[in-house]
Amino acid sequence: MTLGNCLILQDFKSEPFLGWLEVEDGKIKRVVKGRREDIDQPLEGKLVMPALYNTHTHAAMSLLRGVAEDVTFEEWLFGRILPLEERLTEEMVYYGTILAQMEMARNGVVGFADMYFHEDAVARAVADFGLRALLTRGLVDVGGDDGGRLKENLKLYERWNGYDGRILVGLGPHSPYSCSRGYLEKIFDVAKEHDIPVVIHLYETAQERYDLEELLRLGLGEVKVIAAHCVHVPTEKLPLLSKLNFYVSHNPTSNLKLGNGVAPVREMLREGVKVTFGTDGPASNNTLDIFHEMRLASLLQKMKDPSALDVETCLKMATVDGAEALGFEGGAIREGFEADLVVLDLKKPSFFPLKHAKRHLVHAFSGEVFATMVKGRWVYFNGEYPTIDEGEVYKKLAEIEEKLYS
Ligand code: NI
């Protein structure tokens, strides 16, 4: 398939040019400057750019959006969210994850890292809808018993890791405050043995004051880690983290909304720590919009230093670094790369002047993209979802709302 006659932004470093591209077998076959008359998918007035990645969420919490506002993190989690989560069935988690992917595709996101339960249903939803995902079963061992969660996570790995080149499975220790030290050590050992990543919440709240070096001794330093939040990470330890296979998932909206503060992203980047963007679950954000996170993150860091988190840095974090954190090849529209891309409609007031379109991606654009492609397949195109029956999904969601909230 050929598509284009539009502006193409090949990666975060380049500037957009007029061109077209050919996609074959899920890959980008060629990228050509100029116009082509007999094009399969004309995209006049559009911009094609590398897709975005959401490195931390709990996708099915899209079902819990708006249930707990204006409360502390403790009240949010223990008072409101956990009691509702006990009522979520596999089918609910499946449709919650479909809904989350509908929203992410509409926001230009092609891949996400998930931590939740009924994760087999999450995998089926990802297989059906068509995004990419790094899936983990949330692991806790309150009172020394994990209720078979680690076994479940390993089953998920055996069943789904590598599926269609789109699904990867890691391990999901929830946090150092909900996992015993022995349990964490075991999880890191299993991650090492299978060479799979670990997704964990780290230093989210000011109360989290555990010893980073202890975590490293338990094995955190020997595996690939996506650490969500790191708002209260001891900054003197950042040089240590920069030497590891360690990716911060920066979730500025969730951190602000739950009153947890602002992560020291400038300091992290200065010390060479890899930072990516996440939304966290839609019950604490309340959206799954990485364009929004980019802009908010940039503004928050500019509060003290206007040169912080410039446009290219934001785009790099959201595209190439996000893909790398999840374990996918991404972040560039080049020959031989996976055909994962996002199309934006430039006929919007916020894209004028077009000369600065790349800057507008971070500081002016808001709203939905025109189309999103994963592995050469449109998962969202001009208001439509080619991979699902949207009417059926909304019908199921209405039934779920009735069951959960009436
Ligand atoms: Ni989270």
Say how many Å lie between the CA of residue 281 and the centre of ligand 1. 6
How confident is the model over 15-29, as a mean pLDDT?
A: 98
Q: Assess whether the previous peptide bond of 260 is cis (omega < 30° from 0).
A: no
Q: Could you tell me the distance, in angstroms and rounded to a whole number, from the CA of residue 280 to the centre of ligand 1? A: 5
pLDDT tens readout for residues 158-189: 999 999 999 999 999 999 999 999 999 999 99
Q: What is the pLDDT of residue 7?
A: 98
The percent of residues above 90 in pLDDT, for the chain, comes to: 96
Are 74 and 259 a contacting pair, CB within 8 Å?
Answer: no
From the CA of 202, how far away is ligand 1's center (Å)? 10
Residue with tokens 């990470």: 233
pLDDT at 74 over 90: no
pLDDT at res. 395: 98
C-beta separation of 361 from 291 below 8 A:
yes
The whole-number average pLDDT for the span 210-221 is: 95
> How many Å lie between the centroid of ligand 1 and the Cα of residue 201?
6
Between the CA of 248 and the centroid of ligand 1 the distance, in Å, is 12
Q: How confident is the model at residue 107 (pLDDT cuts 50, 70, 90)?
A: very high
| 3-state DSSP of the chain | CEEEEEEECCCCCCCCEEEEEEEECCEEEEEEECCCCCCCEECCCEEEEECEEEEEECHHHHHHCCCCCCCCHHHHHHHHHHHHHCCCCHHHHHHHHHHHHHHHHHCCEEEEEEEECCHHHHHHHHHHHCCEEEEEEEECCHHHCCCCHHHHHHHHHHHHCCHHHCEEECEEECCCCCCCHHHHHHHHHHHHHHCCCEEEEECCCCCCCCCHHHHHHHCHHHCCEEEEECCCCCHHHHHHHHCCCEEEEECHHHHHHCCCCCCCHHHHHHCCCEEEECCCCCCCCCCCCHHHHHHHHHHHHHCCCCCCCCHHHHHHHHCHHHHHHHCCCCCCCCCCCECCEEEEECCCHHHCCHHHHHHHHHHCCCCCCCEEEECCEEEEECCECCCCCHHHHHHHHHHHHHHHHC
Q: How confident is the model at residue 325 (pLDDT cuts 50, 70, 90)?
A: very high
Q: 87: CA distance to ligand 1 center in Å?
A: 19
Task: Tell me: pLDDT of 143 over 90.
Answer: no
- Does the reported pTM lie above 0.95? yes
Which one-letter amino acid corresponds to residue 291? Answer: F
d(CA 238, CA 49): 32
Reference 174, options 219, 133, 114, 231; nearest CA is 114
| 370 strand-pairing partners | none
> In this predicted model, what pLDDT tens digit does every residue of 227-249 receive, in sequence order?
999 999 999 999 999 999 999 99
How far does the centroid of ligand 1 lie from the alpha carbon of residue 64, in Å?
Answer: 14
Ligand 1 centroid to 284 CA: how many Å? 9
Instruction: Confirm or reject CATH 3.40.190.10 for domain 2-50+333-375, answering yes or no.
Output: no
- CATH tag, 52-326: 3.20.20.140
* Ligand 1: centre distance to CA 340 (Å): 25
Q: Where are the domains of the chain?
A: 2-50+333-375, 52-326
Give me the pLDDT at residue 308, please: 96
pLDDT at 76: 87
Split at pLDDT 50, 70, 90, the class of 320 is very high
378 CA from centroid of ligand 1 (Å): 28
Q: Taking a C-beta distance cutoff of 8 angstroms, is the pair 175, 333 a contact? A: no
The values of phi and psi at residue 374, to 5°, are: -125, 125
Report how far ligand 1's centroid is from the alpha carbon of 115 (Å): 7
Confidence label for 366 from pLDDT (cuts 50, 70 and 90): confident
Query: What's the CA-to-centroid distance between 100 and ligand 1, angstroms?
Result: 15
What average pLDDT does the structure give for the chain?
Answer: 97
d(CA 56, ligand 1 centre) in Å: 6
Note the pLDDT of residue 144. 87
Query: Using 50, 70 and 90 to split pLDDT, how confident is the model at 406?
Result: confident
Token pair 């975590």: residue: 215
Mean pLDDT across the stretch 115-137?
A: 98
pLDDT-derived band at 142, boundaries 50, 70, 90: confident
Which value, in Å, is the radius of gyration of the alpha carbons in the chain? 20
Half-sphere exposure for 268 (CA within 13 Å, toward CB): 26
